[in-house]
Amino acid sequence: MSSVTTSNPSAAPKGLDGVVVASTAISHVFGNEGRLVYRGYDIGQLAGKATFEEVCFLLWKGHLPNQVELDGLRTTMSAQRALPDAVLATIKAMPASTDPMDDLRTGASAIGAALPISGTATFEQALALAARFPTIVAAFDRLRKGKEPVAPRADLGHAANYLYMLTGEVPPENHVKSLDTYLVLLADHSMNASTFTARVIASTESDICSAIVGGIGALKGPLHGGAPALVMDMLDAIGTVDNIKPWINQALDGHHKLMGFGHRVYKTTDPRAEILREMARQSSTPEFFALAHGTEEYALAELHRRKSDQKLYTNVEFYSAAVLSSVGLDRDLFPSTFAISRVAGWTAHVLEQMVGNRLIRPQSEYVGPLGLTFAPVSERP
């Protein structure tokens, strides 16, 4: 029996670190500089200035809309918010204990069947999905709490309507501004795991809904979209400003991961984290912000002292938790709210993938045995 293995010296690094898998004009992370660019605009040029609807148009069409284009987009998106009866029935059939990301994944799949969405991906299909994501999440959240879903309002913007459908009340303007800025910040982020997943599926010439369902599945993982809720759990465990140093020291001494720090691409502070920090300062209670900011400062000092070679800085998840909590969202809705934003980027990448599409089919390095001989079951040890 042979146990010879093969080795390919040209094999890609684990996790595809540094491997370029596509050319894109949609967004890019300049990791060493701490910059994120959407279609040529630094994120600081858009966050707090452009609405989420404007950024959707930018990602889908390649330029910021003029007033006529923006009005048309808003009118069309608001008209597409309602869920088909079959989708609402699917959501109503889910147990109240369902993870909100499972609800969104299932609801998005049901939209693909109910509309139906098929064939080559189109701008209209991208818009139809993005418009309905908040309705799926809000309808399930109310149903699991024993309440009836709230119908969307055409006179409210995307962020305001989402909060309205969750509570049944028109949200305060500061909550709308915070959530809208969050949606802008998370709308796209180069070739992350969920975007790569969506592009791989799209490259098979499957439909856009299947690609987006795949993206949701990737985003659900705690190493991708589930971290903000874990940041809140960490801050709850720390509890008070006086407990920051002993808690972090104990965690690091025990080789436990601190949530909200470090990024595979950024080698300095995530620019989105800097914007979200100021938003959290304005929207959180003074006590909570003191806890969060104190945790950030001491954690960074210790990480840099103990792991100076790893270049660990605050990432977007740390203050996303504070901002999403401040607008009244339950923490288990954080990942699906992330998806409400990121569907803009996913769909933009699917549309781009279909231009001169080629099936994404990488190779793998085989490290298993060779030369084994089959034996009937009666002769096996």
Which residues participate in catalysis according to the annotation?
Answer: 263, 317
Per-residue exposure over 247-273, b if at least 16 CB sit within 10 Å of its own CB, e if not:
bbeebbeeeeebbbbbbebbeeebbbb
Query: Six-digit token pair at 16?
Result: 């595809």
Question: What is d(CA 209, CA 248) in angstroms, rounded to the nearest whole number?
Answer: 42
The gap from C-alpha 246 to its chain's centroid, in whole angstroms, comes to 32
* Alpha helix stretches (DSSP H) within 192-333: 193-203, 208-219, 227-238, 244-253, 271-283, 286-306, 316-326
* Residues whose CB falls within 8 Å of the CB of residue 121, separated by 6 or more in sequence, listed in order: 202, 207, 208, 211, 347, 350, 351, 354
Is residue 67 within 8 A of residue 74, CB to CB? The reply is: no
Tokens of 121: 């991906």
**Amino acid of residue 220:** K
Helices and strands (H and E) in the chain: how many: 16, 3
- Is residue 102 classed as helix, strand or coil in its secondary structure? helix
DSSP conformational letter for 36: E
